[in-house]
Amino acid sequence: MTADPVFAALASPARRELLRLLLEEGAQPAGRLADRFDMSRPSVSEHLKVLKDAGLVAETRRGRERHYRLEAEPLMSVRDWLVPYERFWRGKLAGLRGLLDEMEDDHG
Amino acid sequence: MTADPVFAALASPARRELLRLLLEEGAQPAGRLADRFDMSRPSVSEHLKVLKDAGLVAETRRGRERHYRLEAEPLMSVRDWLVPYERFWRGKLAGLRGLLDEMEDDHG
DNA sequence: ACTATATGTAGGATTTTTCCTACATATCAA
DNA sequence: TTGATATGTAGGAAAAATCCTACATATAGT
């Protein structure tokens, strides 16, 4: 229900890299993913578990391989969380523009 | 240059709550923020430091108070990071819709 | 059945995070 | 100046995250 484990999962660069690989190269078995890392295979497996618990990846067993695929839906809750801050940011830009307009009025 | 410390800062619920307070209630002195937490004031101060190092808040010294205000700009890099995943998500939805259309064709 | 492959789990060492209580610093007010 | 207020920093305990090397499990191929 909360976006909490999603934010926690995204805190690790290794896990964000895993998501990037799955996004750009599609679903892959765990071993092939692990090969890309300067880290032991079991450690990558742990990271995959964190992502899975956060709902960010799903696994499909194919023979003795486990293919992991991206599940982007939980990221949409991050986007939703971001919305009011984006509004705030735009508001600040608008305010700055207003200020610049005033300055132009003063000098022109 | 990297969004790394931003992602790390957002991992903590306490820090996200701080950002929410600053967003919804505007800039406030550290003490007033700390009062809202079930946590010691120095701990809140540490969280503010993490947010500050990530560029997510800025402080303005007013007398003996330090007013913290939201700096939303770094969050925009998170939004940018999110974009390709949003595309992926929409793509999956479109694919699902296509599948549903096919099913309707079959049965109707 | 036996061996090789693919992968998760256990147990533990190391590092990082989180949180606390004391203490230091700076400002305000009388 | 003296005392109260606002806040950061130091030092350390406790918890959590990270990463490793064995080991367990399950499947594939011979």
The pLDDT score that the predictor gives to residue B100 is 73
Pick from B2, B4, B6, B10 the residue to mutate for testing the A interface (most A CBs within 10 Å): B10
Q: Is the pLDDT of residue A90 over 80?
A: yes
Furthest CA-CA distance within chain A: 74
Q: Residue length, chain A? A: 108
Chain B residues whose CB is inside 8 A of the A72 CB are: 85-86, 88-89, 92
The pLDDT score that the predictor gives to residue A4 is 94
- Positions of strand D less than 7 angstroms from a protein CB: 5-10, 17-22, 26-28
Q: Is the pLDDT of residue B91 over 70?
A: yes
The pLDDT score that the predictor gives to residue B14 is 98
> How far apart are alpha carbons B53 and B36 in whole angstroms?
22
CB distance A85–B19 less than 8 Å? yes
The pLDDT score that the predictor gives to residue B1 is 53
Q: What is the DSSP letter of A69?
A: E
CB pairs under 8 A between A and B: 61
CB distance B10–A13 less than 8 Å? no
Kindly report, residue by residue over B25-63, the tens digit of the pLDDT. 999 999 999 999 999 999 999 999 999 999 999 999 999
**A17-26, B18-27, B60-69, B89-98: lowest mean pLDDT where?**
B89-98
Shortest distance between the Cα of B13 and any Cα of chain A, in A, equals: 7
Kindly list the domain boundaries of chain B, sorted by start residue: 4-107
The pLDDT score that the predictor gives to residue A63 is 95
> How far apart are alpha carbons A66 and A29 in whole angstroms?
5
The pLDDT score that the predictor gives to residue B92 is 80
The pLDDT score that the predictor gives to residue B30 is 98
Cβ atoms < 10 Å from Cβ of A16: 18
The pLDDT score that the predictor gives to residue B9 is 98
Look at residue A26 and give its three-state secondary structure: coil
User: Which nucleotide shows the minimum CA-to-C1' distance to residue A48?
Assistant: C8
Instruction: Tell me what the mean pLDDT of segment A42-48 comes to.
Output: 98
Q: Is the pLDDT of residue B24 over 90?
A: yes
Q: What are phi and psi of B60, to 5 degrees?
A: -130, 125
> How far apart are alpha carbons A38 and B86 in whole angstroms?
28
Share of chain B above pLDDT 90, in %: 80
Q: How confident is the model at residue A108 (pLDDT cuts 50, 70, 90)?
A: very low
| Whole-number distance in Å between A57 CA and D1 C1' | 66
Instruction: Tell me what the mean pLDDT of segment A39-49 comes to.
Output: 98
> How far apart are alpha carbons A52 and A46 in whole angstroms?
10
Fold of B4-107: Arc Repressor Mutant, subunit A (1.10.10)
Pick from A1, A4, A6, A10 the residue to mutate for testing the B interface (most B CBs within 10 Å): A10
